[in-house]
Amino acid sequence: THVKQLPTILHCAAKFGLKNLAIHLLQCSGAIWACKMKNMDGSDPAQIAERCGHKELKKIFEDFS
C-alpha cells in the first residue's frame, strides 16, 4: 500500500516536507514525469505537499511545473 501511496521519492519528499531532497530530485532526469505522476488517491506531489501542510514545498512543485 505504501508504494501505491508514495510511488516515487518525490511523493515521499512531498509527504514529509523534505524540501532539500525535493529540490535535488527536481534537478534529476525524470523529474517532469515524477511531478505529474499520481498516486493511488489521484494526487501528484504538489497536492500531497498541500494536503500535508507544506505550502512552500507545494509552491516549489508548482513553479517547477
Per-residue pLDDT of the chain (65 residues; tens, 9 = 90+): 567 878 899 999 999 999 999 999 999 999 999 999 999 999 999 999 999 999 999 999 999 98
Backbone angle region of 17, left / alpha / beta, with phi > 0 → left and psi within -120 to 50 → alpha? left
pTM: 0.89
Report the CATH fold assignment for 9-64.
1.25.40
